[in-house]
Amino acid sequence: MPITLHEGLNPLDASLIPVYVPPPPVCTPGSTKCVGYKLYTCRADGSAWDLTETNSPSCGYVPPPPEFVVSNLFVSPSTVSLGEIVTIKFDVTNVGGPGRSSVYFSLEGPWGLAAPIYFTLDSGQTITYSVPLTPPKVGTYTVTVDSLSATFTCTEPYVPPVCTPGSTKCVGYKLYTCRADGSAWDLTETNSPSCGYVPPVGEFTYSNLSCETVRIPGEAKFDQWLHVEVDIENTGNVPETRSIAVWITTSFASDNYKREVHAKACGYGECPYCKDPTPLELTLNPGETYHYCFCSYRVDPGTIYPVWMQDDKGWVSGKCYG
């Protein structure tokens, strides 16, 4: 800006040039100071203090210990079979200072375990943690993580039914019945007629029965002989032994009655048809046939009467008349 100066009585022309003079430094550049727990650092030009750390250990700040809070405990699935995996998940949040700490984990039931699980988290940090388990025993389990708990159940593996309950089947002659729960076949009968089993039995069948009156040459006219033949077959499925005999019904006019009696003994040496005795102990294998031939002097000459075969088990052949 222009100004006027005087030297004696004579004026002089002059001007002023402003010059900036910086204020004195506030602080020593790079130096630090604490205000409570806050740490300040002096700027490079010393003009001001800048806040560089809110909670500074250099200012005596001691951070709080980490504090973990567990939430959202979840077990899936709620029911598993032996050999299957159950997954346990939960969230852990650090509401305290940064650092390393743990949560307590336990599993109680037919089989169990208990142990701390450690984490290192910043303040306010949350993580989701997962624990896969394969329970080795059947039963109900309780999972506890700090103050939270949940349950799950382990069952026997599912076995699909092997049969329809109450149904039956044959294996050879054996009869099996399906259990009420369809889990297995139970043997209910060893030799079952339902499975085609035929009980072992010996059976004598009589066929081709024939009888006649014959006269032996050289014998008196009234000496008539009874000649009987029959085929006997074991139609059963096991060997069979029976006592067979010739039966006749005799009648005597003088007595005026009839009676059933065994025929007399076979006339060996007298009747040429005599081959087998009566009674005869006969053993036949299944399917085997025996041709029986008998001859005896008639107990009631001149009379026609029925003749049949009968064994000791009550089986009777048809009748013929001699």
| Tens of pLDDT, residues 107-145 | 999 999 999 999 999 999 999 999 999 999 999 999 999
Name the CATH superfamily housing domain 68-155.
Answer: Immunoglobulins (2.60.40.10)
List, for the chain, all residue ranges whose pLDDT scores fall below the cut of 70.
1-16, 218-223, 251-262, 298-304, 322
pLDDT for position 319: 84
Centre a 10 Å sphere on the Cβ of residue 283 and count the other Cβ atoms it contains.
12
**DSSP H or E segment with residue 187:** strand 185-189
Q: Is the pTM of this model over 0.75?
A: no
DSSP 57: G
Residue 6 token pair: 């005087």
Q: Which residues pair with 289 in a beta bridge?
A: 233
Beta strands in 79-134 (DSSP E): 79-81, 86-94, 99-108, 113-121, 126-133
Residue 87 token pair: 């997954």
Centre a 10 Å sphere on the Cβ of residue 304 and count the other Cβ atoms it contains.
10
d(CA 172, CA 188): 13
- Of 93, 108, 119, nearest to 144 by C-alpha is 108
**In the chain, which segments carry CATH 2.60.40.10?**
68-155, 204-321
pLDDT for position 256: 47
φ, ψ for residue 71 (rounded to 5)? -150, 165
Contact present, 152 and 75 (Cβ < 8 Å)? yes
- Of 208, 207, 227, nearest to 216 by C-alpha is 227
pLDDT for position 226: 84
Q: Tell me the CATH number for domain 204-321.
A: 2.60.40.10
**1-40: b (≥16 Cβ within 10 Å) or e:** eeeeeeeeeeeeeeeeeeeeeeeeeebeeeebeeeeebbb
**DSSP H or E segment with residue 312:** none
Contact present, 286 and 270 (Cβ < 8 Å)? no
d(CA 160, CA 65): 56
The amino acid occupying position 190 is T
pLDDT for position 176: 95
